[in-house]
Amino acid sequence: MPAPVVPPSNGRFAPGAVVVLTVLVFGAVVALVTLRLREEVRAQLLRGAADQLAAVATMQLDNRLEEMGPGSMAAADLPGALLLAALKTSKFPGVAAVRVFDNRRRHIIAWPVAANDEPAGADWAEIQAGRSVARLHRAIDENTLSTLALANPEPVIEAWVPLRQSGAAMIGAAQFWVRGENFINEMAEHDRRLWFQATTAWLMGAVVIVVGLSWAFRRLAAANAALRARSEDLQRANRELVLAAKTSALGAVTAHLMHELKNPLAGLEVLMAGQVDAAGDERAATGGEMAAASELTRRLRTMVNDVVGVLRDEQTGAEFELTAGDVVEVAVRKVQREASERGVTIEAGAPPPLPFAGRRANLAILVLRNLLQNALEATPRGGTVRVTARAESGGGVEFLVEDGGAGLPAAVRGRLFQPCASTKVGGSGLGLALSHQLAQQAGGRLELVRSDEQGTSFRLVLTEEA
């Protein structure tokens, strides 16, 4: 089980920096919105001033045409009517100069300016569409200053308005120059109110941001502390589980070692007792009995070395891999000598090349070795023991050990994997029970396939992942 990942801790000043940065970003957004709104309001005020001039000019032109009577306007009278309407409009407060154009963009007359340059194309297009145009000049050059007959440089508003009767088409246009001091003062006052409102909104928003983020960071810190505590608990539980798993595996292997040692020791005890009963002296032992004693001792030493090797791998954490073929080959090799002495043939099938971690392979070898030894003991001389392996559909491997014996007694089959269930002379009844536990430690299971007069078959199944 992998150790849980502990989330990294935030820096000491990270929450404060986030709050400050958020407040600054919010302030920048408020400033940009305020500047955009300021420009839009200024454009609306300028357009409003031009529209006022256009409304006054239209009223003056309507009055002039009423004075002349219906149908009395001749083409020759049109410039005079336009000029008179423009001049009367120039009485509007702040107007410093005026120029008049006909509907063909031709200059008619000006007062008091003398310049007669034509209006810009973009301005004339707006005028023809019936819209007024206005722009603020904070500083004007000396030529324009003298043209407008202004004594001192001052800001002026340039306004282009269409000249027409109410509800009629445009019959001319007028350019007004209006002193902009009042407009500048009005804009300054408006700017002060606008920036005051923006600052108030920013301060209120900053308070909400600080309070909200502070509360969120406190909740986040509490959640982080709880997560850290849970991570530490999970790590501690993980260590305990790993230790328990290792301890359980070591306990099962140690019990297997005790079982493997018990049978050879029992055989030696019977052998030595037979020697003493036959001759009354240990020197009466025959050469055959001593050879049997030597063989039992060799088997005992081999078993001890095998189990100690598994224990060493468990303790050192050695990492290696064995294939299913290697597992079968090693297990068969460990019992091959005993099979030859009993006159039993071991047939091993060709297993699939599925790799196993070293720990699982060692445990599988111990289980297969115990099953093979039981099969050899149950098979009569001249018989055959088969061990095969094949891939499972789920990705694992199935090992099958079959003997040619007479089958297990019914009493043993009833409590097959329970300790002390044995009918063999000198048997401990722990072999299958311990093999069952070792199979579980290897991430698999041990099952009895069949047991009858034709023989017994056990199956060890190891899944792909433990």
**What mean pLDDT comes out for the span 109-120?**
71
**437-457, pLDDT tens digit by residue?**
888 888 888 999 998 888 999
CATH for 241-462? 3.30.565.10
Q: Which residue has better confidence, 167 or 145?
A: 167
Which pLDDT score, from 0 to 100, does residue 116 have? 61
List the chain domain ranges. 14-179, 241-462
pTM of the model: 0.43
Q: Are strands 107-111 and 444-452 parallel, antiparallel or unpaired?
A: unpaired
Q: How many CB atoms lie within 10 A of CB 166?
A: 9
Which pLDDT score, from 0 to 100, does residue 69 have? 61
pLDDT over threshold 90, residue 204: yes
* Average pLDDT of the chain to the nearest whole number: 76
Amino acid letter, 78: L
Q: Please list, in sequence order, all residues whose beta carbon lies within 8 angstroms of the beta carbon of residue 376, skipping any fewer than 6 positions away.
A: 335, 338, 339, 342, 344, 385, 403
Sign of CA dihedral 313, 314, 317, 321: positive
Would you call 83 exposed, middle or buried from its count of C-beta atoms within 10 A (0-12, 13-18, 19+)?
Answer: buried
Q: Which residue has better confidence, 17 or 298?
A: 17
Phi first, then psi, for residue 422 (nearest 5°) are -145, 145
CATH for 14-179? 3.30.450.20
Which pLDDT score, from 0 to 100, does residue 290 have? 63
Residue 134: helix, strand or coil by DSSP? strand
Closest CA to 328 of 361, 359, 358, 374: 361
**48-62, pLDDT tens digit by residue?**
888 887 887 778 777
Which pLDDT score, from 0 to 100, does residue 459 have? 92
Among 273-277, 339-343, 412-416, name the most confident range: 339-343
% of the chain exceeding 90 in pLDDT: 13
Cα(373)–Cα(401) distance, rounded to whole angstroms? 10
**64-104, pLDDT tens digit by residue?**
767 666 554 444 455 556 666 666 666 667 777 788 888 88
Q: Which residue has better confidence, 411 or 329?
A: 329
**222-251, pLDDT tens digit by residue?**
998 899 898 888 888 887 676 555 545 555
Amino acid letter, 379: T
